[in-house]
Amino acid sequence: MKELSELEYQRFWRRVQQIGLNAYESRSYLVLVGHPRFKALELAARAHVPRQKIYEVLDSLVEKGFAQVIQEKTKLFSAIEPEIAISHYLARRTRMLERELQEQSKLALGLVDDLHVAYSEGQGGRGTLEPLRIVSDPGQIAAHYRRMLGEVTREYVEFVGPPYAVDPLEDELVGQARARGVNCQILMAGSGGDQNLTNRLEGYRRQGAEVRMLPVLPMKLAIFDGRTGLVAMLDPVVTKPSWTAVVFEHPGMAEAMVNLFRQYWQQGIDPGSHAATVGTPLDGHVEVAAARMGMDGRG
């Protein structure tokens, strides 16, 4: 059997470590790959593994599926074929990680409930939100949105603009809100020729939400129960487009945002109408309002 060259050995040694084996295990496996079988102490010398460590290393390789024991007069070790060893090892690690994540998720739910109480008390009973909070991390923006959508009890209205990222969890939360009897009105930016937009609109309509569309909207906006919500806008300063959101729990601001939503909603086009299909332009006074607010339909 061909033995690995020093250059091949060094290259493979680092790559084997990247999939999860430690340095001793990687060296030992690569030596085994280049030979039919080895005694433990012979392998220790070839792989530069301390003699007192070699049995521990070999036991680990056998347990992980990279080596096997051949029982003769003395115990010998040989490599498992790489395509079998690596695929089996990664599949097993995936299952272990999935179980670990499931356990962590269960623990996290209880931890969130407990910390929520402590956080509310620490904030003087003001709840989970400050009256206004600026959030720029996309994951945190999504977390605030999902939490508020999951808690809404009466009314949920939203401006939806591109990019129309499909999020099964958010779609599910809209359906759950409708099942609780929440009145949902969604105004989407775009034209009837956009198949992605059409699919999203149909999805919302099947869940029982009212939907309309306009060619452009000034921002992303969501208001829940006339009390909480968020406003998300593209940051015009940075080179790479990114969203910045104002998350609020303020009845006055919520009322103002709902009034803004109603003005645009009245101009919205029923997606099932002929006008929506051909992409009828905005009325003149809406076009003027759009220009004043710097809307360009991008983002």
134-144 residue pLDDT tens:
888 888 888 88
| CATH for 6-80 (3.40.50.300, 1.10.10.10, 3.40.50.720, 2.40.30.130) | 1.10.10.10
pLDDT digits (tens, 9 = 90+) for 154-189: 999 999 876 655 565 677 888 889 989 999 999 988
Which region among 85-89, 185-189, 289-293 has the lowest average model confidence (pLDDT)? Answer: 289-293
76 or 191, which is more confident? 76
pLDDT at site 288: 36
pLDDT at site 114: 67
d(CA 157, CA 184): 6
pLDDT at site 194: 67
Domain ranges of the chain: 6-80, 86-128, 132-292
241 or 221, which is more confident? 221
pLDDT digits (tens, 9 = 90+) for 40-55: 999 999 888 999 999 9
- Name the pLDDT band for 291 (thresholds 50, 70, 90): very low
Distances (CA, A) of 219 to 14, 225, 232, 280: 48, 19, 6, 21
Neighbours of 219 (CB within 10 A): 21
pLDDT averaged over every residue in the chain: 79
Q: Is the pLDDT of residue 200 over 60?
A: yes
pLDDT at site 124: 58
CA 280 to chain centre: 36
Q: Is the pLDDT of residue 278 over 50?
A: no
- Name the pLDDT band for 240 (thresholds 50, 70, 90): low
292 or 147, which is more confident? 147
pLDDT at site 41: 92
pLDDT at site 239: 58
Q: Is the pLDDT of residue 284 over 50?
A: no
pLDDT digits (tens, 9 = 90+) for 94-104: 999 888 888 88
Mean pLDDT to the nearest integer, 215-229 = 90
Write the burial class of residue 200 (CB in 10 Å: 0-12 exposed, 13-18 middle, 19+ buried). buried
d(CA 269, CA 203): 17
pLDDT at site 35: 84
pLDDT at site 63: 92
Mean pLDDT to the nearest integer, 4-13 = 66
Q: What's the CATH number for 132-292?
A: 3.30.870.10
* 12-16, 195-199, 214-218: which is most confident: 214-218
Question: Phi and psi (nearest 5°) for 176?
Answer: -65, -35
pLDDT at site 292: 34
H or E segment to which residue 77 belongs: strand 75-79
